[in-house]
Every structure is written in C-alpha cells, then in structure tokens.
C-alpha cells in the first residue's frame, strides 16, 4: 500500500497490484459443459512440479506450465480465444472492480479480538477480565446452541472487497493502482473481476 494525491491535493490510500499476464487455458461452452466460462492460468512454473494430467491439459493447447488455474463465467465467448494473453489493458481508469483473496491469518483468538466482546470489570476483586462468561442456558436444553460466538481461528478466510476504483494503470509493468486495501499479505494471490 501507498498513497497518491488527486487533483485537489487529497491523499488517497491505494494498493499497487501486479496483474498477469494471464493465459486463457480453456473455453467452456454451453453446448459441451452446460455453461459459458473462461479458464485462466497464471504464474509460469517448471514442468517437473506438475502432474502428467495437468501438463497434458496445458501442452495440448500449446501453453507453458501454469501454477494457478481459475475459472470465470462469461455471457458469451466471442471476445476470447485459446492461448489469448490477458493483461491490465482489459481494465480502464475509473472502473470499479471486486477483489477476492485469503485474509491474513491471526491464529487462535479470544472473544475480545475475534468478536469484539466487552471485557469484565478490572477492579473490586473481579476475576473475569477476558473470560467468555456464560455460554448457554441451564438444565434445559442442557447444551450449547450451534453458532455460539466463542474463541477460535481468526482470519485465513476467503473474503471479497467490492467496488474498488482503479485510479491508475501501468501497462509496461502490468500494475493496477486500486483505491483502498485488498485482502491478505503482500504477495497474496488475488482474483480481480469487474464490478457489476
């Protein structure tokens, strides 16, 4: 993340994201697969790291070994062809996009951190500072209801941030400048799709 200044001199928080180049590895049609979709591959790898089936899927279309394959549904396939390279040129400045990725994992966390619970009183002999307190009714029903907010794994989930505006594009280095923050750590793999 960094900041840029707009025409009025306001500092805007932005995230610089490297996009692609991505290769179209498969076209799925309604006739054969029941729906229209485009499969995209990203990040070239060494052939030794792939299984024969994965390599076969890519080499039959004359493509290099690609680590990350992802599928996106489309209305029609007229503008797409097998082996086509997708880059930042498919985006426009001022366009809004949805960005999905895995959020930062924060390990096993308590109720205060995970669910914003209040703490107990700190004085007058209280021994209930960060304890969860009662977790359910008594003898009836004699169990804890599913979905009870308790301590546990925080983060490391797939989340989507909607409607991030594209403030800049660098076609030479394949960079997108998005207003705001995106999920995960630096180097995280993201899915960027146009917002509807």
Closest C-alpha among 180, 184, 137 to residue 162 = 180
| Cα–Cα distance measured from residue 61 to residue 55, given in angstroms and rounded to the nearest whole number | 10
Residue 67 maps to a domain = yes
Residues in the chain, overall count:
196
Please list the pLDDT of the chain residue by residue as tens digits (196 residues): 999 999 999 999 999 999 988 999 999 999 999 999 999 998 877 777 888 888 898 888 888 888 889 999 999 889 899 989 998 998 999 999 999 999 999 999 999 999 999 999 999 999 999 999 889 888 998 999 999 999 999 999 999 999 999 999 999 999 999 999 999 999 899 999 999 7
For residue 31, give its domain range. Answer: 20-86
Q: Per the structure, how many domains does the chain have?
A: 1
Q: Report yes or no: 99 and 182 within 8 Å, Cβ to Cβ.
A: yes
Residue 69 maps to a domain = yes
Residue 66 maps to a domain = yes
**What's the CATH code of the domain at 57?**
3.30.160.810
The whole-model pTM stands at: 0.82
Residue 177 maps to a domain = no
Residue 53 maps to a domain = yes
Residue 39 maps to a domain = yes
Residue 77 maps to a domain = yes
Distances 25 to 59, 68, 82 between C-alpha atoms, Å: 10, 11, 6
Phi, psi dihedrals of residue 90, rounded to the nearest 5°: -85, -5
Distance of CA 101 to the CA centre of its chain: 1
Residue 130 maps to a domain = no
């Amino acid at each position: 993340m960094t900041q840029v200044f707009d025409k009025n001199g306001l500092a805007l928080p932005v995230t610089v994201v490297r996009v692609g180049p991505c290769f179209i590895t498969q076209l799925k049609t309604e006739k054969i697969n029941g729906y229209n979709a485009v499969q995209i591959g990203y990040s070239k790898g060494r052939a030794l790291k792939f299984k024969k089936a994965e390599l076969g899927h890519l080499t039959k279309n004359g493509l290099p070994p690609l680590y990350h394959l992802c599928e996106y549904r489309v209305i029609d396939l007229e503008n797409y062809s097998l082996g086509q390279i997708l880059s930042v040129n498919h985006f426009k400045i001022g366009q809004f996009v949805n960005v999905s990725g895995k959020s930062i994992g924060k390990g096993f966390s308590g109720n205060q951190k995970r669910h914003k619970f209040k703490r107990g009183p700190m004085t007058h002999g209280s021994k209930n500072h960060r304890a969860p307190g009662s977790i359910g009714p008594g003898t009836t029903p004699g169990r804890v209801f599913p979905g009870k907010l308790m301590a546990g794994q925080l983060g490391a989930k797939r989340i989507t941030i909607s409607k991030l505006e594209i403030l800049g594009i660098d076609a030479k280095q394949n960079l997108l400048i998005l207003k705001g923050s995106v999920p995960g750590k630096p180097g995280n793999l993201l899915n960027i799709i146009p917002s509807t």
